[in-house]
Amino acid sequence: MMSTIQDYTTMEKPQWCPGCGNFGLHMAVKSALSELNIPREKAVICTGIGCSGKSNHYVNCYGYEGLHGRSVPVASGVKLSNKSLTVIAEGGDGDGYGIGSAHFLHSFRRNIDMTYIVHDNAIYGLTTGQASPMTQKGMKTKSTPHGNLEIPFHPLAVAIAGGCTFVSRVFTGDLMHMKEVLKQAISHKGFALVDVLQPCVTFNKLNTFAWWQQRVYKLDSSYNPQNKTAALEKAFEESATDYAKIPIGIFYKEERPTYEEEAPQLKEKPLVEHEIAKENIQKAVEDFL
């Protein structure tokens, strides 16, 4: 039976501020999952804490809202327990590029087959407007009243350098493009990063829809996402041009065996299907005594 966007729609209505970029992203995630015909009982969305952390409340599939910055390790555990599931991790830029940054880095080396969607609004939304790792230098926020002294993080460059096998960025002002990139990220065999330029209309008055709209442009077919050196250069384009040009699309893509494909315990079948009733665990228990 085909999946539809209605299958993924909950009775509960999203509680984000009117005009928040999360609404478009939410629609694109539901559309991508249904257009890929993934049955909702086979999809899991793990989130951290933040406005972004509420994403899975409003998608009618399995979900787990974990601790701030910990969506990637929770999602990794889910995938390793049952590799037959389609696993998505979601969180804010504070969540993933700040407090969760160690998980962010090491997930690239591991290459577990999952999609990591970062709601990149360059601010802490839920806690009402403190600077995040993506806040621009000089910007006044609740935690930087005299202007931010730190330069922003470069998630795409870090991901490319760290061994991520699918590195992309989208803009919530372009729904169709966002959905198409999400579909490719979810279909990719390996760890796929989708950095989402997602305006926080309430607490970030600098990076607005209009601000991004004037600067983003799509990578076209003349761009080769298999060239790592060119991808790194592209990832630095926004800072090199002082935000005059901000590329969106798939920056880098490579095929590499996933963790699940190489782990001997998981090769044959998902861990949850292993017959453990007859296993003698006495020795393991004694080791802990």
Ligand X SMILES: Cc1ncc(C[n+]2csc(CCOP(=O)(O)OP(=O)(O)O)c2C)c(N)n1
68 binds ligand X (CB under 6 A): yes
- Measured CA to CA in angstroms, residue 163 lies from 106, 112, 158, 167, 234 at distances of 9, 12, 9, 10, 16
Long-range contacts, stretch 23-27, CB < 8 angstroms, 24+ apart: 23/172, 24/172, 24/173, 24/175, 24/178, 25/55, 25/117, 25/119, 25/172, 25/178, 25/196, 25/198, 26/55, 26/58, 26/59, 27/175
- Answer for the pair 190, 166: CB distance below 8 angstroms, yes or no: yes
Indicate which single residue of 90, 95, 180, 195 sits in contact with ligand X (rule: CB under 6 A).
95
CB of 135 to ligand X, least distance (A): 10
Indicate which single residue of 16, 58, 171, 212 sits in contact with ligand SF4 (rule: CB under 6 A).
16
CB of 82 to ligand X, least distance (A): 27
Q: Please tell me the count of residues contacting ligand X according to CB under 6 A.
A: 18
The DSSP line for 224-268 is: -TT-HHHHHHHHTHHHHTTTS-EEEEEEEE-----HHHH-HHHHS
Nearest residue to 63 via CA among 71, 17, 110: 71
- Measured CA to CA in angstroms, residue 90 lies from 31, 74, 246, 257 at distances of 16, 11, 22, 23
The one-letter code for the residue type at 57 is: H
CB of 78 to ligand X, least distance (A): 20
- Which CB atom, from 126 or from 232, has the smaller least distance to ligand X? 126
- Which CB atom, from 38 or from 49, has the smaller least distance to ligand X? 49
Q: Which does 124 bind (CB under 5 to 8 A by kind): ligand SF4, ligand X, none?
A: ligand X
Stretch that binds ligand SF4, among 71-79, 197-205, 229-237, 252-260 (CB under 6 A): 197-205
Q: Which does 94 bind (CB under 5 to 8 A by kind): ligand X, ligand SF4, none?
A: ligand X
Stretch that binds ligand SF4, among 14-22, 41-49, 211-219, 244-252 (CB under 6 A): 14-22
CB of 49 to ligand X, least distance (A): 4
Stretch that binds ligand X, among 13-21, 87-95, 185-193, 258-266 (CB under 6 A): 87-95
- Which CB atom, from 29 or from 266, has the smaller least distance to ligand X? 29
CB of 278 to ligand X, least distance (A): 41
Residue 1: how many CB atoms within 10 A of its CB?
6
The DSSP line for 260-289 is: HHH-HHHHSS-GGGS--TT---HHHHHHT-
202 binds ligand SF4 (CB under 6 A): yes
142 binds ligand SF4 (CB under 6 A): no
Partner residues linked to 117 by β-bridges = 90, 194
Letters for 106-135 (x = contact with ligand SF4 by CB under 6 A, - = none) are ---------------x---x----------
Q: List residues near ligand X by CB under 6 A.
A: 49-52, 68, 91-95, 119, 121, 123-127, 132
